[in-house]
Amino acid sequence: MDVKKLAEEIKSSFQEELKNFENGNLNFEDLKNKFLGRKGLVADAFSQMRNFTDKALAGQILNSLKNELTEKVNSLTENTSSAKTKKLDLSLPGRKPNAGTLHVVTETQRQIEDIFFAMGFEMATGPQVETDFFNFESLNFPPDHPAREMHDTFFVEGDVLLRTHTSNVQIHAMKSQEPPVRVIAPGKCYRNDTPDATHSPVFQQIEALYVDKNVTFTELKGTLDAFVKALFGKATKTRFRPSFFPFTEPSAEVDVTCVVCKGKGCNVCKQTGWIEILGAGMVDPNVLEAVGYDSEIYSGYAFGLGIERVAMLKYGIPDLRLFFQNDIRFLKQF
Amino acid sequence: MKISLNWLKSLIEIPFDIDTLVQKLTFSGLEVESVETQKPQLSEKVVVGYVTDRIQHPNADKLSVCQVDVGGEEVLQIVCGAPNVAKGQKVAVATVGSVLPNGLKIKKSKLRGELSQGMICSASELEISEESDGILVLNEETEIGTLFNDYFKDADTIVEIAVTPNRPDVLGHIGVARDIATLEGKKFVKPTHTFTEIGKNTADEIEVEIEFPEGCPRYSAKIVEGIKVGKSPEWLANRLEAAGIRSINNVVDVSNYVMLEVGHPMHAFDYSEVKGKKIVVKSSVQGEKFTTLDDVERELDGQTVMICDGERSVAIGGIMGGQNSEINDTTTKVLLEAAYFTPSYVRKSSVNLGLKSDASYRFERGTDPNATIYALELAAKLLEEVAGGKAYKGYVDNYPNPIEPKEVKLREARVEKILGIAVSQDQIDTTLDNLGITKKSEGTYLVPTYRPDIEREIDLIEEVVRIIGYDSVPLKKTAELDFHSAKSQVNYRNELRRFMTGLGCHETLTNTMTTTELAGKFSEKNEPIILANPLSRDYAALRTSMLPAFLEVLRENLNKKSGTSFRFFEIGDIFYRDENVYNKAKEIKKAILLLSGDRNEVSTFVKQENFDFYDIKGYAESILEFTRFKRITFKVGQRPYFTENCLEVVGNGKTIGFVGEVSPKILKEFDVSAKNVFVFEFAFDLCEKTYQIVSKFSHLNKHPFVERDFAFVLDKTTEAGEIVEKLNRSKIKNLTSIKISDLYEGKPLAENKKSIAFSFRFESFERTLTDKEVNEAMDKILKISEQTFGAELRK
Ligand SMILES: [Zn+2]
């Protein structure tokens, strides 16, 4: 038998079966076994070695055939490995790891903080359990003054109470450093209000304070305008109404373009196109003097807003109590 | 404060419509909360008609057929069912095409065979009154054919303003009128009042002594006799009602009217009940009892201002009169009081007594001490007009230390310094002058006593900007940015929150307030913070642990069947008493993670599996690793609310928190229906301090590592962690990690045995290790394990 002829036959048979494989009529394993398997054509050719006259040549030819086919088969494995797996039902869902979520109130807080950080404000903190001095007296609420009625206060004992606003941080911040001071202070506050859709005994405020030489009312207006545009969108406008807070003068309540109807008038804004979200004002000289700042040299502004209220407006959440129920269907939305 | 528009118009001309007025008030600091008009807003087809004839309906006993002239070309025929309809009446007619407030459309129709071209209306059908008895009969002089809405042209509009505590001056219509005038660039002049006085002198019949001038700096009085107590005329009752005060009788109404116009409360005593022709103002005696007008006997403290006659107390100064000297039907002679009480005294007494009144509301904010005589003048005039009163001559006015207008300085430059815009000296002067704040000399102004809130330069600046309008101040942002702060915010809080969401957890927001019981029960030795005036049982203390709130969140979710797999986390605070700090409180930042239910939501490839202890432990390890603790270890721990499956988590040698399985007992107490609840609670503050962004790169090892396995057979009681810890501490050369690769219990092992397979990795950063070195290390591991734990190699 002619070893060369045998090798040629095997080769051409391989070419033919390769076509079958490429057309999908033969699978990879069968192809491989037919030629390179233990009982395959190549092995079979080797087993006939003793029948060949020039054994050395036959060995050489068969080895190079084996190498050639092995290489071809291996290149098939690399190029068309999919050929060896079955086709998947790609419409089945993936193994999805659970995606966690942030609470909408803390997320709103972070958005607000980020705007102020970008404006150069620093973070300040103060205690939630506070004394009358920091919560009221140093903020120019005289004892026995009806202004205190604006805050339904929880008392602990003696002069200790739960802070009714984050404005106590103004005093802590100013007492601990010389001007300029430019801080924000987010945190929980407490008022003795029965919980309903818009009230909660525990709520979160964010306070901002800037004291320096030459801080003016125009600056306050400009900063707040920039802030609400960053938070609610560029078309948002502000409107200032005179009001009264003991620790600022002049004081203002600040309305912004209704975030729901963009100022056209809707139920949320009671058809006015405006919603009140901030209290603001120029730091009262009595407050500056209470922390040892010279009110002739320094002036400042302060403002505060309720974080839950912003979240309710921004996301159209109708009831404050949803925030504290922590229903996972609610939590997963944000 | 409810403002009657009619009342306001009697004091000042208002040259604009109600919407403009609302805008002007709101933008000058008198925020309008609501506007309510008493004028009906009916269809324009409701008109005034005249009943020219009325006959009995031929086919119905209870109906009339009326001919009604509504000023049109023809007289209308209307069938009416009201018994009181009669010829010659002026009535309200809803003509064909009108729609009544209740939605009824008026059509031409036939009623029992008779044509009806409209409807004669009752007051309730027009919704101008809640009930009515038959049709509404109008004033005879009303013109036929006029719009019914115009019949009420005098109807009032009530504007409710939210008065801030600093503005007692606008607690009367005069004060509001003054602000409106100023906004119009005018100066308000208050009306003067004239009345007749008879020959007798007030001073002959009453004497006023003030023994307590701190509480009552001024007491003015006047006597009016010839009074006939009765119903107030309609205009007076209407005005009071518009302002939200019920009409009682003409004398009481007059004193309320004066308060609502002038802003100064006053009181009327039945003179015959004032013993000894004498009023003495004194401080109450501790424990004294006194019955007020509202029939309540009250116990007084030792510093309330009491108005007494020669024998007894007759009123609580500035708060409420006494029952013993109340105006009654037989009263003919009254003693009118207009006094000035010190705000802080009134406030203290009002709070202590738990008694508020329209008078105390004004006095505690500060009334005008110099308005007492003006108030008495108006009262005398009105009593003459509505009760036949005859005023005695003069006043008794005890005012030992008159309160003068304050001098307040204002620098023009300072206005610009605060507001950021220049306001001319002229504009400042005019604005202030219109408010009644007169210029005494250059830079010095006299502030009238009705503005107790204005004491300092800043107060004047506020008045200026309030009147010129906040809108006239431009927006400006001039502050130069400095970047030192923004970038130094290494924010572990935000990083951790994001990391937790990456681990599939949902952030919650729970309440820091709780019940006293839970605050006590979950506190570790420390005393909780309990409120003196709790809102309710649920809001009575500050929490000492975040766990109770988390169990409640889980319970609510389970009850609502809102999901099957729960991973909740939160960063929050807990509170303890701490006597060593000024606010007697310690606030600690904590974080908590709770796992319960399915480990993953069940789907095609995910079989239902419950969270178990190793999940929570794994989360804890992951969180601590993220926080960059260099060394994390776990010790057997114990918490009252966890089962024995509880570990104390130690990071860098400090206790960071606990992981554990919540005990069935606690779950039952919280009504949590789940069985597998696992919690990791940890000290957020310690983690925040530890957290740092990795700042240095570690070189990768260029030399290959060698891994070798051992499976040990051990007593069941031996814990894997003990072996790992022991081997780690034994400083075995080149050993860089130990992993537990398999656990086995059961045959062919003995009942009390188990097998643990370990995988040890050896590597050196200097060179490739030889077999000999690794074999020596493995021998050492085997030896230590045999000696310490009785371990045998598993064959
Ligand atoms: Zn709107």
- Both structure tokens of B735: 């050993």
Tens of pLDDT, residues A153-178: 999 999 999 999 999 999 999 999 99
Average pLDDT of span B132-138: 84
> Cis ω on the peptide bond leading into residue A180 (within 30° of 0)?
yes
Angle at A131 between CA A126 and CA A132, to 5 degrees: 120
- Contact status of A325 with chain B (Cβ, < 8 Å): yes
User: Average pLDDT, whole number, for chain B?
Assistant: 92
DSSP string, B516-554: HHHHHHT-SSSPP-B-SS-SSGGGSEE-S-SHHHHHHHH
Average pLDDT of span A16-44: 84
**Does B486 score more than 50 pLDDT?**
no
Q: pLDDT class for A70, splitting at 50, 70, 90?
A: confident
pLDDT at B333: 96
Q: pLDDT class for B155, splitting at 50, 70, 90?
A: confident
Report the percentage of chain B scoring pLDDT > 70.
98
A323-327, B35-39, B377-381, range with the lowest pLDDT: B35-39
- Contact status of B508 with chain A (Cβ, < 8 Å): yes
Using DSSP's 3-state secondary structure scheme, residue B368 falls into coil
A130 and A168 Cβ atoms separated by less than 8 Å? yes
Q: Indicate the burial class of B475 (C-beta count within 10 angstroms; 0-12, 13-18, 19 or more).
A: middle
A223 to chain B: closest CA residue: B477
- When the candidates are 3.60.21.10, 3.20.20.10, 3.40.50.970, 3.30.930.10, the CATH number that belongs to A104-331 is 3.30.930.10
- Contacts with B596 from chain A: Cβ below 8 Å: none
B43: left (phi over 0), alpha (psi -120 to 50) or beta: beta
B259 and B359 Cβ atoms separated by less than 8 Å? yes
Q: How far is CA B554 from the centre of its chain?
A: 30
**Does B487 score more than 50 pLDDT?**
no
Chain-chain contact of A128 with B456 (C-beta, under 8 angstroms)? no
Q: When comparing pLDDT for B290 and B44, which is higher?
A: B290
Chain-chain contact of B482 with A120 (C-beta, under 8 angstroms)? yes
Angle at B352 between CA B367 and CA A138, to 5 degrees: 70
Domain with CATH 2.40.50.140 in chain B: 46-151
Tens of pLDDT, residues B616-627: 999 999 999 999
- Contacts with A121 from chain B: Cβ below 8 Å: 485-486
- The alpha carbon dihedral of B342, B343, B349, B355 has a sign of positive
Strands B197-201, B390-393: pairing is parallel
Average pLDDT of span B289-298: 94
Chain-chain contact of A216 with B459 (C-beta, under 8 angstroms)? no
Q: Supply the pTM of this predicted model.
A: 0.81
Ligand 1 centroid to Cα of residue A192, in Å, is 29
Of A93, A131, A222, the CB nearest to B475: A222
Tens of pLDDT, residues A125-145: 999 999 999 999 999 998 878
**Does B573 score more than 80 pLDDT?**
yes
d(CA B793, CA B795): 6
**Does B371 score more than 90 pLDDT?**
yes
d(CA B626, CA B325): 78
Tens of pLDDT, residues B497-551: 999 999 999 999 999 999 999 999 999 888 999 999 999 999 999 999 999 999 9
Q: Which CATH class is domain B2-38+156-183?
A: alpha beta
d(CA B635, CA B649): 7
ipTM value: 0.81
B210 and B279 Cβ atoms separated by less than 8 Å? no
A69-73, A297-301, B369-373, range with the lowest pLDDT: A69-73
DSSP string, B604-619: TTB---B--HHHHHHH
Ligand 1 centroid to Cα of residue A279, in Å, is 20
Tens of pLDDT, residues B385-405: 999 999 999 999 999 999 999
User: Average pLDDT, whole number, for chain A?
Assistant: 90
- Closest among B398, B402, B401, B400 to B208, alpha carbons compared: B398
- Closest among A168, A180, A176 to A133, alpha carbons compared: A168
- Closest among B29, B528, A78 to A70, alpha carbons compared: A78
Minimal C-alpha gap between B600 and chain A (Å): 7
B33 to chain A: closest CA residue: A270
- Contacts with B511 from chain A: Cβ below 8 Å: 202, 324
Most confident listed range (A199-213, B35-49, B710-724): A199-213
Tens of pLDDT, residues B581-594: 999 999 999 999 99
pLDDT at A5: 85
B429 and B452 Cβ atoms separated by less than 8 Å? no
Q: pLDDT class for B488, splitting at 50, 70, 90?
A: very low
- Contact status of A39 with chain B (Cβ, < 8 Å): no
d(CA A230, CA B755): 62
**Does B789 score more than 50 pLDDT?**
yes
Ligand 1 centroid to Cα of residue A317, in Å, is 14
A325 to chain B: closest CA residue: B553
Tens of pLDDT, residues B678-691: 999 999 999 999 98
**Which residues make beta-bridge pairs with A206?**
A186, A305
B705: left (phi over 0), alpha (psi -120 to 50) or beta: beta
- Contact status of B411 with chain A (Cβ, < 8 Å): no
> In this structure, which topology does domain B406-468 adopt according to CATH?
Phenylalanyl-tRNA Synthetase; Chain B, domain 1 (3.30.56)
Task: Tell me the C-alpha to C-alpha distance, in Å, between residue B76 and each of B70, B95, B119, B120.
Answer: 8, 9, 10, 11
* Three-class SS of A63-121: HHHHHHHHHHHHHHHHHCHHHHCCCCCCCCCCCCCCCCECCHHHHHHHHHHHHHHHCCC
Q: Where are the domains of chain A?
A: 3-86, 104-331
- Closest among B626, B681, B622 to B655, alpha carbons compared: B681
- Contacts with A192 from chain B: Cβ below 8 Å: 533, 535
pLDDT at B479: 57
Domain with CATH 3.30.930.10 in chain B: 489-690
Best A154, A163, A193 member to test B by mutation, with max B CBs in 10 Å, is A154
Ligand 1 centroid to Cα of residue A274, in Å, is 7
The answer for B 116-175 residues in CB contact with A (under 8 A) is: 164-167
d(CA B654, CA B631): 10
**Does B614 score more than 90 pLDDT?**
yes
The CATH homologous superfamily to which domain B489-690 belongs is: Bira Bifunctional Protein; Domain 2 (3.30.930.10)
Task: Tell me the C-alpha to C-alpha distance, in Å, between residue A130 and each of A134, A181, B545.
Answer: 7, 22, 20
Q: When comparing pLDDT for B71 and B132, which is higher?
A: B71
Average pLDDT of span B1-7: 95
Strands B506-507, B565-577: pairing is parallel
d(CA B279, CA B287): 22
Tens of pLDDT, residues B36-51: 887 777 888 899 999 9
Best A175, A216, A278 member to test B by mutation, with max B CBs in 10 Å, is A216
**Does A103 score more than 70 pLDDT?**
yes
pLDDT at B466: 95
Q: pLDDT class for A80, splitting at 50, 70, 90?
A: low
Best B539, B544, B685 member to test A by mutation, with max A CBs in 10 Å, is B539
The CATH homologous superfamily to which domain B46-151 belongs is: Nucleic acid-binding proteins (2.40.50.140)
The answer for B 337-396 residues in CB contact with A (under 8 A) is: 343-344, 347-348, 351, 364-365
- Both structure tokens of A151: 């805050």
**Does B32 score more than 90 pLDDT?**
yes
Ligand 1 centroid to Cα of residue A220, in Å, is 25
**Does A82 score more than 70 pLDDT?**
no
Ligand 1 centroid to Cα of residue A314, in Å, is 12
CATH of the domain spanning B197-398: 3.50.40.10
For chains A and B, count residue pairs whose Cβ atoms are closer than 8 Å.
Answer: 245
pLDDT at B483: 46
pLDDT at A51: 78
H helix or E strand, kind and range, residue B48: strand B46-56
Gyration radius (Cα) of chain A, Å? 39
Report the percentage of chain B scoring pLDDT > 90.
78
Dihedral in degrees, nearest 10, Cα atoms A70, A72, A77, A80: -170
- When the candidates are 3.40.640.10, 3.30.70.380, 3.30.365.10, 2.60.40.1180, the CATH number that belongs to B706-793 is 3.30.70.380
pLDDT at B794: 81
- Contact status of A292 with chain B (Cβ, < 8 Å): no
Chain-chain contact of B513 with A202 (C-beta, under 8 angstroms)? yes
Ligand 1 centroid to Cα of residue A315, in Å, is 14
